[in-house]
């Protein structure tokens, strides 16, 4: 799991709205400079990553990595490894170092540069529950932001039959999609106007995103320990994600009940409607504490989890798409005439041609350069056309 995507969720965990509906203006001083810990050990081969940072005041949020700490992972048999800081705040086990074993329990210990010692509880690494199937159905959903109902694909997952009755599951999702720019490139300018012979150079891209939403399920009370028809990501036709081809990678994580309760609390916080201070907040504490001061706030949760994964590819559905398409306007013809006066720091810039009249136009670069929309030109190794 890409842990950087959950940092903001962890910071937000300082607020959980409960039933007391009174206007409240909390003192947030305790939440500044709190240690934030992100990381896990899994049944997959290492290296394993622990990421350390310090929280900042909510009105001036910034990422402040914690460097020069000593980070260790232990198992319940006494094995341990000191992690190596490879970049500010990121600590890894070695490639041939600490390897996990299903059934063992694991914890971390952190000694900060100012000699504070933090440790987590032991977490058991549970065997993963397999994924039976991953599929998508065309569904329409109401939207308060549009005058029409949304159309798109709702993804579902079925698990395999688990070996024990009670299982707690968490899902992390990664989407990848192929998309095109609105126009091909016919000319470029980098101080000199010149034709572009490979007109599709910046036309097609792939974009990969870690989806931040938390999905949780469990098998409590089910007639058999198997998740069936569990809804996960919904992708509408309001953007380019489904415009050509879309892929979803699902990691199904088997976690402990304590980890489940922690993430369930975070999920409830995110789903809570209404004003931020419509109710009194309390701290959502994870399983990490200061060994000499248990009252100190520490944000985050160290997990041990068994992971199974499955990927699905879907073609463009036969639906109405509503994403914004670029159009050529008369001022774009004039812009090409004045291209020599553009800021050299923006070069090269690219122009297209208006097929309706044969004129060269200089549109917004997002319209001709797919990398400007966060895409990458290289096809991912796993991609199937």
Are 52 and 36 spatial neighbours (Cβ–Cβ below 8 Å)?
yes
- Domain contains 147: yes
**What's the total number of domains in the chain?**
2
Residue at 114 is within a domain: yes
Lowest mean pLDDT among 23-32, 100-109, 159-168, 197-206: 23-32
Give the count of beta carbons closer than 10 Å to the beta carbon of residue 74.
Answer: 18
Q: What is the pLDDT of residues 94-137, one digit of tens each?
A: 988 888 999 999 999 999 999 999 999 999 999 999 999 999 99
Q: How many residues does the chain have?
A: 385
- C-alpha distances in Å from residue 3, one per residue of 7, 67, 90, 264: 7, 17, 11, 17
Answer yes or no: is 72 within a domain: yes
What's residue 143's pLDDT?
Answer: 82
Examine the domain organization and report whether 208 and 342 are in the same domain. Answer: yes
Per-residue pLDDT at 329 exceeds 50: yes
What does the alpha-carbon distance between residue 340 and residue 319 come to, in Å, rounded to a whole number? 42
Closest CA to 170 of 232, 243, 113, 125: 232
C-alpha neighbours within 13 Å on the C-beta side of residue 79: 10
Burial 115-132 (b: 16+ CB within 10 A, else e): eeebbbbbbbbbebbebe
Q: 230 and 302 in contact (C-beta within 8 Å)?
A: no
Query: What pLDDT is attached to residue 16?
Result: 30
DSSP label at 224? S
225 φ, ψ to 5°? -75, 75
How confident is the model over 222-246, as a mean pLDDT? 97
Residue 346, domain extent: 131-250+318-373
| Whether the predicted pLDDT of 356 surpasses 70 | yes
Instruction: Please name which of 313, 176, 179 lies closest in space to residue 239, comparing C-alpha atoms.
Output: 179
* 88 to 42, 50, 54, 262: CA distances (angstroms): 23, 11, 12, 27
- Residue carrying structure tokens 């319940």: 76
What is residue 255's three-state secondary structure? strand
Domain check: are 121 and 168 in the same one?
Answer: no
Alpha-carbon torsion angle 373, 376, 379, 380, nearest 10: -100
**pLDDT beyond 70 at 292:** yes
* Maximum CA extent, the chain: 76
In a domain, 39, yes or no: yes
| Residue 237 and residue 185 share a domain | yes
For residue 385, tell me if it sits in a domain.
Answer: no
Residue 146 has pLDDT above 80, yes or no: no
What Cα–Cα distance (Å) separates residue 375 from each residue in 46, 206, 240, 368?
28, 5, 11, 12
Please tell me the distance from the alpha carbon of residue 51 to that of residue 53, in angstroms, as a whole number.
7
Q: What pTM value is reported for the model?
A: 0.85
Same domain, 361 and 232: yes
Q: Do 107 and 93 share a structural domain?
A: yes
Predicted confidence (pLDDT) per residue in 178-192, tens digit:
999 999 999 999 999
What pLDDT shows up at residue 272? 62
Does 334 lie in the same domain as 189? yes
CB atoms within 10 A of CB 138: 11
In a domain? residue 23: yes
């Amino acid at each position: 799991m890409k842990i950087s995507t959950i940092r903001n969720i962890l910071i937000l965990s300082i607020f959980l709205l409960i039933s007391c509906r009174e206007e409240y203006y909390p003192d947030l001083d305790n939440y500044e400079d709190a240690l934030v810990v992100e990381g896990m050990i899994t049944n997959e081969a290492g290296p394993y990553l622990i990421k350390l940072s310090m929280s900042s005041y909510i009105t001036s949020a910034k990422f402040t990595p914690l460097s020069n700490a000593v980070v260790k992972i232990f198992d319940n048999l006494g094995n341990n490894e000191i992690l190596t800081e490879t970049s500010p705040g990121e600590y890894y086990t070695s490639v041939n170092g600490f390897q996990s074993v299903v059934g063992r329990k694991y914890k971390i210990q952190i000694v900060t540069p100012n000699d504070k010692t933090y440790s987590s509880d032991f977490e058991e690494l549970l065997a993963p529950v397999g994924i039976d199937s991953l599929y998508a159905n065309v569904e329409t959903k109401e939207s308060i932001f549009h005058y029409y109902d949304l159309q798109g694909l709702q993804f579902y997952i079925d698990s395999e039959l688990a070996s024990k009755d009670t299982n707690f599951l968490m899902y992390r999702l990664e989407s990848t999609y192929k998309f095109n720019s609105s126009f091909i490139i016919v000319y470029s300018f980098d101080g000199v106007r010149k034709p572009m012979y490979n007109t599709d150079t910046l036309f097609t891209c792939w974009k990969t995103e870690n989806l931040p939403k938390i999905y949780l399920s469990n098998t409590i009370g089910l007639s058999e320990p198997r998740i069936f028809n569990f809804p996960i990501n919904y992708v509408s036709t309001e953007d380019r994600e489904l415009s050509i081809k879309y892929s979803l990678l699902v990691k199904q994580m088997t976690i402990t009940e304590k980890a489940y309760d922690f993430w369930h609390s975070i999920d409830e916080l995110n789903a809570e409607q209404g004003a931020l201070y419509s109710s009194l907040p309390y701290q959502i504490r994870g399983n990490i504490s200061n060994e000499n001061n248990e009252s100190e706030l520490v944000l985050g949760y160290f997990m041990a989890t068994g992971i199974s994964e499955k990927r699905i590819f879907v073609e463009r559905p036969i639906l109405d798409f509503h994403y914004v398409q670029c159009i050529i306007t008369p001022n774009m013809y004039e812009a090409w005439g004045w291209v020599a006066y553009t800021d050299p720091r923006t070069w090269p810039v690219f122009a297209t041609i208006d097929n309706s009249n044969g004129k060269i136009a200089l549109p917004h670069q997002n319209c001709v350069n797919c990398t400007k929309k966060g895409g990458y030109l290289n096809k991912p190794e796993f991609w199937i056309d």
